[in-house]
Amino acid sequence: MTKNLLISEIARLVGGIVSGSGEKIITGLNKIEDAGEGELTFLGGAAYQKYFPATKATAILVKRDFEKSRSDLIYIEVDDPGKAFLVILTHYFTPEITLQGIDPSAYIHPTAFIGPNVSIGKNVVIEEGCVIGKGTKIFHNTVILRNTVIGDDCLIFQNVSLREDSVLGNRVILHPGVVIGSDGFGFTPDQNGVYQKIPQIGIVIIEDDVEIGANTTIDRAALGHTIIKRGTKIDNLVQIAHNVSVGEDTVMSAQVGIAGSSKIGRHCVLAGQVGITGHIEIGDNVIIGAQSGVPKSLPEAGTYFGYPAKPLNVALRTEGHIRNLEKYASRIKKLEDKIVQLEKLLEKPQA
C-alpha cells in the first residue's frame, strides 16, 4: 500500500519537529533495516541502533534531542518513535476492507435478521434465527448456525465457523479458520471403561472489541457459558476450553491452551505456548512467560515463568541452579572424596 505524504503533514499528525526538508514526499513505511528511498522508518530500542548507520530510508522518527549524525536523513523528533510510528500506520495505512453487498451464492434463512449495510461473501451460510448487526462484514465460506447473534461492525473473515446460539458483541474481529462454539471436551467412562459423551449444552459469549486470531478454537460450555470479555486479544492457534472465563483487556500469544472452567483475570498477558490446567484462577495483571505450565491458581499480580510457573525472580534463580548442576555435581564429588579421606585419617590409631 503506497501513499504520497508530505513529511511536514506526518510531523503535524504526531506532534514532531522536522530536521531537514518537510516538503519531501513519503510513499510508505518500513522497518529500519529494510527501509528504502521514499520510506519512513523509526528508531526503536537500543537493539535497532546498529541499523541506523546503513538505513536507506528517506526519513526517520527519533527521540527528541537525538544526535543527528547523518546529513542525508530527514529526522522527525518525537517523544516516543514507536508510538508515533503506530499512529502514522493506523491513520494512513489501515487496510481497506472491500467486501460490499450480499453475494447471490450466500444462503440466508428467511427468519434471519440482517441489519443495514451488512456485507456477505460467497457461499456464506446463515441459519434460522440468526441476527447480524449493522455494518458487519462476513467473508466467504463462513457458516453461522441457528440463533447466533452478531453485533454491529464486526469483521468475520473467510472459513469461520460459528456454532448455534453463539453471541458476539460489537466490533469483534474473527480471523480465518476461527471456530466458536464447538463442543467442549466432555467424556466420562462407563463401567466398562468406554467413554460416553457428555452433552455440551452451553454457549460462547464474545464481548465487544475482541479480536481472535486464525485457527483459534473456543469451546461452548457444558452448562452456562464460555466467555471472552471486552477488549481481549487472542493470537492464532489458541485453544480455550469449555466454561473458561477470560477477563477484559487480556492478551494471549500463539498456542496458548486453557483447560476447562479456569478463570483468567483482567489485563493479563499469556505468552506463547503457555498451558493452564482446569478449574484454577489467574488473578488480574498477571504475566506468564512463554512455555510456562500453570498447574495451580496464581491469584496475585506479577510475572511468572517456568513449570510449574513460579514468580519470575524465583524461576530465574532456579534456572541458574539447573544450569550449574554439572558443576555442583563435580564439587559434591570432590567434597565426598575429601570426607572419605578425613574418615580414613580419623580411623587410624593414635600414636
Q: Yes or no: say if 4 and 27 are a contact pair by the CB < 8 Å rule.
A: yes
Domain spans of the chain, in order of start = 5-93, 107-313
CA dist 204 and 229 (Å) reads 11
Q: What percent of the chain has pLDDT over 90?
A: 93
pTM of the model: 0.89
Is the fold of 5-93 the same as that of 107-313?
A: no
CATH class of the domain whose range is 107-313: mainly beta
pLDDT reading at 351 higher than 80: no
User: DSSP E strands: which ranges in 265-342?
Assistant: 269-270, 275-276, 281-282, 286-288, 293-294, 302-305, 310-311
Packed helices 325-347 and 312-323: angle between N→C axes, nearest 10 degrees: 60
pLDDT tens-digit readout, 6-53: 999 999 999 999 999 999 999 999 999 999 999 999 998 889 999 999
The predicted model gives 295-302 an average pLDDT of 98
pLDDT reading at 350 higher than 70: no
Give the residue numbers annotated as catalytic, written as ranges. Answer: 242
Q: Please provide the size of the chain in residues.
A: 351
Determine phi and psi for 338, rounding to 5 degrees: -65, -40
CATH 3.40.50.360 assigned to domain 5-93? The reply is no
CA angle 205, 207, 210 (to 5 degrees): 115
